[in-house]
Structure 1
């Protein structure tokens, strides 16, 4: 298995200079579609799960079949240093529409570190689309913890004038963390709400995030939000 992984990596390294920072290369091979590029070719579970780029050189290969099956491998860092390990994301799944308004997806993704003895991370995910509403769920099994996340992207643009996305996560540590004078922390939750709309050529975004931790417990926070305590952010962007 290690030889196979490094064989794929050698192929990517040899072609890295040809597609890094360029548009993805797409090819059709019978009933298969192949995509190779410097950005992740797909997001999964309605955008809840997605390989992420890190480091100077990164790239990946995605293969999908007309039946709905797909698999791929993504190298988040092709130039590992003392501070950044070589990381591979290998995934496989099945995605299928059921008519014009309903569809579903199931799959798994494994984060591995072939250049070290670091244990990998297993992630399982599912997605569902119903009449424009997108639902996603993921379960991440790490060496020291388990994370469950639910996502709901609701079709409210026509009725309310803005898009709405809600995310809720629960986290369970295998070993509780001792706090100075604050007891132990072993489980905690966090959540976020995102509202977005287009206005005069701008993309407006407002987000709110928070967690179940108290101020004294935030020193050990390690959830999906940028900050442990309640935070409201506003952002306006425009493409040039």
Structure 2
């Protein structure tokens, strides 16, 4: 039954994402041609859709090491304001956890002296999950990034007053880097550290995650392969936290 629910969730999510992307494409092309006044609307809309062989969040699988269909729908203003929704199927291996995740986010990103500052908030919600599991949570985010031409780097901090599973305050710090190479190829790297006040509530200790990968853009698609791992032992996390190569393909509109 759980596998059937997971398949239904994936199908529903895929239909929702395709509908949003069709809306985005129509809005940005045909709608403008039919009604020039729409061009005066502030901001612009965009979307993306793709899949990965395993949805890893901060190094830990969210789909029981199975494939995930993912997508987003975004609005951005020229002054740096943005709003969006990102979605994916999930599978936490037990009944009552829900089969879908939606992240609703908003913020403002502006550049000063070559450094982009990003301040925002994210609401992680899991429709269909049992309420007493308290999976939903909110994070506040602050990030800084800079493009050095040969390498782009960024550092981000996330704070939650009540992390998932009612695990109390939580902080996540991450550092990311990207090195562009010739022919639309890029190398990526990431390291992050998750602190949680009540480790017992999420059944694992504070975690360091890291990844290294490569991405390639071709014919409107973005292809990626990323090796992801954590410092958790098999005693601290029985499965879904060890090293794994994750393949992904996505398309933006």
TM-score, reference length from structure 1 = 0.54
Contact conserved, 2:86 with 2:104, CA < 8 A, in 1?
A: yes
1:108 aligns with 2:121: yes
Equivalent position of 1:207 in the other structure: 227
Q: CA RMSD in A?
A: 4.6
Contact 2:178 2:186 in 1 (8 A): no
1:76 Cα offset (Å): 5.2
Corresponding residue for residue 67 of structure 1: 79
Match of 1:126 among 142, 152, 156: 142
Looking at structure 2, the residues matched to 36 and 235 of structure 1 have their Cα atoms a distance apart, in angstroms, of 23
The structure whose Rg is larger is 1
Residue of structure 2 in register with 1:193 after alignment? 211
Q: Distance in 1 between matches of 2:180 and 2:46?
A: 35
> How much has 1:107 moved relative to structure 2?
0.7
TM-score by length of 2: 0.52
1:33 correspondence with 2:49: no
**Following superposition of structure 1 onto structure 2, how do residues 70-149 of structure 1 map, counting pairs within 5 Å?**
70-74=82-86, 84=98, 88-98=102-112, 101-113=114-126, 118=131, 119=134, 120-132=136-148, 133-139=152-158, 140=160, 141-145=163-167, 146-149=170-173
State the shift of 1:135 in Å: 1.1
Greater helix fraction, Structure 1 or Structure 2: 2
Q: Secondary structure at the match of 1:176?
A: helix
Q: Summarize the Cα distance change of 1:157–1:128 in structure 2 as closer, same or farther, 3 Å threshold.
A: farther
Residues in 1 aligned to 2:86 and 2:244: alpha-carbon distance in whole angstroms: 33
Q: Structure 2: how far apart are the matches of 1:112 and 1:165?
A: 27
**Taking structure 1 as reference, are residues 227 and 127 closer, same or farther at Cα in structure 2, changes over 3 Å only?**
same
Higher relative contact order structure (alpha carbons within 8 Å, sequence separation ≥ 6): 2
Alignment length, in residue pairs?
A: 186
